[in-house]
């Protein structure tokens, strides 16, 4: 497993823990339907966080491919 994939998985795990904490906050402070509020708050944090990690990984991969293309074209 390369470093990019390993750090991406670690960040996704950290975001899942943060989402769990925010879900707990949503559960505690909900006046009505605490489970629904916890799922909404925690799920929202989880989805946004994972999307940010995936976008960052996509940008990094595209930059690596561009750099590889550039170095291959220079050697020809």
* Residue 33 backbone zone (phi > 0: left; psi -120 to 50: alpha; other: beta): left
Quote the pLDDT of residue 48. Answer: 95
Task: Say yes or no to pLDDT of 76 above 60.
Answer: no
Task: Say yes or no to pLDDT of 27 above 60.
Answer: yes
Q: CA-CA-CA-CA torsion for 5, 7, 8, 14, nearest 10 degrees?
A: 150
Tell me the C-alpha distance between 62 and 76, whole Å: 21
pLDDT tens readout for residues 36-62 = 999 999 999 999 999 999 999 899 989
Q: With bands split at pLDDT 50, 70 and 90, how would you rate the model's confidence at 35?
A: very high
* CA-angle at 29, arms to 26 and 30, nearest 5°: 75
pTM of the model: 0.79
């Amino acid at each position: 497993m390369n470093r990019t994939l390993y750090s991406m998985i670690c960040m996704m795990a950290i975001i899942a823990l943060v989402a769990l904490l925010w879900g707990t906050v949503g559960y505690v402070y909900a006046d009505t339907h605490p489970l629904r509020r916890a799922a909404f708050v925690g799920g929202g944090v989880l989805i946004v966080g994972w999307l940010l990690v995936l976008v960052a990984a996509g940008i990094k991969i595209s930059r690596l491919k561009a750099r590889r293309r550039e170095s291959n074209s220079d050697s020809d």
